[in-house]
Structure 1
Amino acid sequence: MARILVPLAQGCEELEAVTIIDLLRRAGQEVISAGLAPGEVTASRGVVLHPDVLLDDVLDQPFDMVALPGGLPGADHLDQDPRIAALLQRVAAEQGYTAAICAAPKVLASAGLLKGRQATAYPGVLEKMPHAEVTLASASVVRDGRMITSRGPGTAMDFALELIEVLAGREKRDEVEAGLVR
């Protein structure tokens, strides 16, 4: 069973956050949602999320993956938090997976993790970051090594299913997907 951290920032995209957490848990993975600050997180459309833990309480723990939901201003809060950049860099250096959807791939770019890679994001997000040195793709989900990116709320299910596949294999992905009656 893999350990996945999903950091939750004020103003995150709720559809993405909940889809990532829900589908990975359906796949039997250990998913930990962590708030950047104490208390509940109010997502971009007003849905209130209750993180499992405070980010500071798990920062030094090992994770197989960090998966970032997007949304604005949530992705901006993630991008401005030096703990997130350090965590992403550590997980990548330890050969873990880093994943981001919607506006959150800019957090990977700011952390220096997209340089020379292929990625996707919400239209316009990475294009505004010329220093990112990334090859943009228009696919719904892009996997480049141990980095997975996706475009937005409409691709959240495909993104989460891809995360399941890289962590638990194609058979587990197919099992979870069949239960979703897609």
Structure 2
Amino acid sequence: MNRTHLPGILAMAAIVVASNILVQFLFGQWLTWGAFTYPLAFLVTDVMNRVYGPGPARRVVFAGFVVGVICSLIGTQIMGEFGPLVTLRIAIGSGLAFLTAQLLDVAIFDRLREGRWWRAPLASTLIGSSVDTALFFTIAFSASLSFIEPANDVSWAAEVLPLLGVGPMVPLWVSLALADWLVKLLLALVALVPFRIIVGALTGRTT
């Protein structure tokens, strides 16, 4: 591992740790504070990919995955009001979603790196974020996957309510997933600004 990659590893680790903590605190009815920090992981991956290439970007992803696994293991030992803060389904969903989405982000970015400066980070983040949200919420809360952890009662997530309080009737977890996805899409656009600034500072270029 090149010493120049260390800031990326530390940034990814900080984001993963912060997100695991902030996910415990609600923001409104459909979100947690972690929804606003976790998408920054895609920014770190994309900066590493642009500046150092896909290999170092993948190593940063794997470092973040290891940190995430450690956070999940710690969370399983901390008891909240309704049981462990991190259940088996949440741990599996979180780890699988992170690794799949981030590696997909790296691959898509690398395929598009020769295009306009914004195309690779925007496309890779949008697709990666969508996969991340779909995998995590389906694995963690869908009633069809209750066999993963039969003792874990997630019936609260299956409560049928209007989508985001105003749409058609859907399970609660679908509204949570949609709200999370919309935040990711918004931050994917906002992150283009720091992406260009950081890449420019590291490479001396504006693209």
TM-score normalised by length of structure 2: 0.27
Flag the structure with higher strand content. Answer: 1
| Structure index of larger Rg | 2
Flag the structure with higher helix content. Answer: 2
TM-score normalised by length of structure 1: 0.30
